[in-house]
Structure 1
Amino acid sequence: MQLKQHRKMILGLTIGYTLLILYFLFFAFGRLDTVDQITEHTFMFLPDSFFRLPDISELLHPALMDLVGFGNIAAFIPFGILIPLLYQTSFIRFLTGFILSILILETIQALTFLGSFDMNDVIQNASGAAIGFGAYKLGFRTKNDWRNIAAAGISSVVLLLGVWGVFGIVDQVFTKEMGPFVAINEWKDSTGNPSRGTQRYSLSIGGQIVEPQYNVYSIEGKMKEAYTYTLGNKEEIYLYLNYGIPDQKESHGSIRVAVDGHEMLSVYAEAQRHEANMSEILIPQAHELTITLEGNATLWDVGFREMVYFWN
């Protein structure tokens, strides 16, 4: 009799918690208010950031997406405990059935415009359920219900922290970060000869004194000059360059930046006048960088930062 009562209570908890999760999946976060504005189904089959969970500092001042990312795992832990309490099952069978259920729910979300099909969510939800199943196996080993519940709760926290830590390490391993600034201090001019630019010196632009830190490039006594730099097939770099017309010179000149023959930036003196400007250009992939100067245009502190993995 007591066993039946326990089973009914667990079944009631499972049904109630399932309804709560379904509410968040289909109706929370203002989904009904935006459904009329969505015109296309969204299916994201390729996971890309499921290892990205907020760190402790982000959780102290969480944004909505931080809570969603962490909740995608934590909210599904109870299923890994409740379902095995109702039905004797193996880990593989449980996880397979759970993943199939989540896939169906994600598909319904996309088809009803109440969300999107996101493989990241599937992986995170399944990770939460797997943590719960592990907590069930570690916690429910005695005949004392309260002791089992306490042990399962502690196991859930420990396993969640472990998965959180592993996800953080894997995310860092596979996430590129901005590398150090690399100044470009040697070019080849239009004749193919090396050119290190002019020696660094102070500039007065727009009434302000500018002190270049790395390099200065101008074409004193020439009308036009093209400088090239071989990047060596680098991927995902940010090119930085400062430019302007010195105050003591006539506002005449231009700057053009091209990567492998494709123009990325074109600036004329008429637009900039005597003002110091800075450009940041994202270059997805490049072999050769060419910067063409005309007239009195002056460049300084030219360089790049590359997106690299931490081991590089």
Structure 2
Amino acid sequence: MSQQRKFIFTITILYTILILYFIFLGFGRIDAVARMTGYTFIFLPDSFFKLPSISDLLHPALMDFVDFGNIAAFIPFGILIPLLYRINFIRFITLFILSILVIETIQALTLLGSFDVNDVIQNSLGAAVGFGAYKLGIRTKNVWRNIAATGISVIVLLIVVWGVCGGIDKAFTKEEGPFVALNELKDSTGNTATGTKLHSFKIGGQNIVPQFNAYSVEGKNIETYTYMLGNKELHLSLYYGIPDQSEFYGSISVSVDGHEILSNSEKYQRRKPDIFEFSLEQANELTITIEGNEKLWDIGLREMKYFWN
């Protein structure tokens, strides 16, 4: 074995030991064992190498670097292994994935972590980036030129992977659609005019001017409003409170498909406007019951959709 090969082999062994240390012992894993109540196996991917938002870029100190670390930490294996052994990409990535699967399984069974398919994907992406950088960068006998070319290749390939994974993540992540005021939907009587009487009022000295709709008992003691939502995944938002210059008496109840998601009365309410937000899965029927002097306003829904919908 040549001196150069011995050096690369030594670096590979030392780096492998370092990675195994962090996988099994680092980040307080030993202390966490006592808190573990059972094995954890996550077989469905729910995280990708996400593109940062504008807010993330403006506040880099607050960015979540876990995904990036899971990829970057395994890039060296994609460079070091082919430097030691002649191996094609298919064989390399297959053996690497099998190795990571074994490590993840040991992590879960020893309670030193969990089996997480997200880690398997991200670690394998890092190894693939390293292998690609090796193929693009190691082309001459000039060591420094090879190092520079490999480094540049790593950066370029990381950007490509970042973009592709960000696109995949966006394609399979639902986002909130445009705001739809509740009065734009037909209620159980087929009426779309309900809630359209927009009168300003004060709560806790704050002047409230409804922008979309306002609901009350309409001269009764209790009133119920029912809307059909079409069995959709939605995000509900509404404001409520008891106006000033009226008896502080009233209550609100909001139910979806027979399950109550909000119940509040004057006993627990503050003398100021309150907001309620709730995510609904496969919601079909929305029922709102108002009693006394309670008022609701600017009730609306945002449908959760994939961008290609």
Report if TM-score (shorter chain) is over 0.5.
yes
Supply the distance in 2 between the matched residues of 1:94 and 1:191 (Cα, whole angstroms): 65
Shift of 1:224: 2.1
Taking a change above 3 Å as real, the CA distance of residues 233 and 252 of structure 1, as seen in their structure-2 partners, is: same
Aligned to 2:156: 158
Aligned to 2:219: 221
The residue matched to 1:83 in structure 2 has which SS?
A: helix
Paired amino acid for 1:301: D
RMSD: 2.2
Shift of 1:230: 1.7
Aligned to 1:129: 127
Q: Residues 216 and 294 of structure 2 are in contact (CA less than 8 Å); yes or no, is this contact kept in structure 1?
A: yes
Q: Relative to structure 2, which stretch is displaced further, 29-38 or 143-152? A: 143-152
Q: Which 5+ residue runs of structure 2 have no aligned equivalent? A: none
> Once the two structures are superposed, what CA deviation does each residue of 1:280-304 show, in whole Å capped at 9, x if it has no partner?
1221221121111222221111112
Supply the distance in 1 between the matched residues of 2:216 and 2:103 (Cα, whole angstroms): 62
Q: Residues 188 and 228 of structure 1 are in contact (CA less than 8 Å); yes or no, is this contact kept in structure 2?
A: no
Supply the distance in 2 between the matched residues of 1:47 and 1:174 (Cα, whole angstroms): 11
Supply the distance in 2 between the matched residues of 1:129 and 1:188 (Cα, whole angstroms): 55
What TM-score, normalized by structure 2, do the two folds share? Answer: 0.91
Between the two proteins, what is the percent identity of the paired residues? 66
Paired amino acid for 1:242: Y
The residue matched to 2:18 in structure 1 has which SS?
A: helix
Aligned to 1:267: 264
Q: Relative to structure 2, which stretch is displaced further, 74-83 or 197-206? A: 197-206
Supply the distance in 1 between the matched residues of 2:54 and 2:267 (Cα, whole angstroms): 50
Quick one: which of 278, 287, 290 aligns to 1:290?
287
Supply the distance in 2 between the matched residues of 1:141 and 1:71 (Cα, whole angstroms): 28
Query: How many residue pairs get matched?
Result: 308
Shift of 1:50: 2.7
Aligned to 1:100: 98
Does residue 234 of structure 2 align to residue 243 of structure 1?
A: no
> Once the two structures are superposed, what CA deviation does each residue of 1:23-58 show, in whole Å capped at 9, x if it has no partner?
211122122222222221111111111343656863
Aligned to 2:26: 28
Supply the distance in 1 between the matched residues of 2:187 and 2:45 (Cα, whole angstroms): 45
Supply the distance in 2 between the matched residues of 1:192 and 1:161 (Cα, whole angstroms): 53
Shift of 1:156: 1.5
Supply the distance in 2 between the matched residues of 1:207 and 1:144 (Cα, whole angstroms): 76
Does residue 16 of structure 2 align to residue 18 of structure 1?
A: yes
Supply the distance in 1 between the matched residues of 2:101 and 2:189 (Cα, whole angstroms): 61
Aligned to 1:178: 176
Q: Which 5+ residue runs of structure 1 have no aligned equivalent? A: none
Quick one: which of 48, 56, 59 aligns to 1:58?
56
Structure 1 outlier segments of 4+, above 6 Å:
none
Paired amino acid for 1:150: A
Q: Residues 223 and 294 of structure 1 are in contact (CA less than 8 Å); yes or no, is this contact kept in structure 2?
A: yes
Quick one: which of 252, 256, 261 aligns to 1:255?
252
Taking a change above 3 Å as real, the CA distance of residues 143 and 207 of structure 1, as seen in their structure-2 partners, is: closer
Supply the distance in 2 between the matched residues of 1:152 and 1:299 (Cα, whole angstroms): 62
Shift of 1:95: 0.6
Shift of 1:309: 2.3
Supply the distance in 2 between the matched residues of 1:150 and 1:298 (Cα, whole angstroms): 67
Supply the distance in 1 between the matched residues of 2:173 and 2:303 (Cα, whole angstroms): 13
Paired amino acid for 1:170: I
> Once the two structures are superposed, what CA deviation does each residue of 1:250-281 show, in whole Å capped at 9, x if it has no partner?
23332211112222212223332644222112
The residue matched to 2:267 in structure 1 has which SS?
A: helix
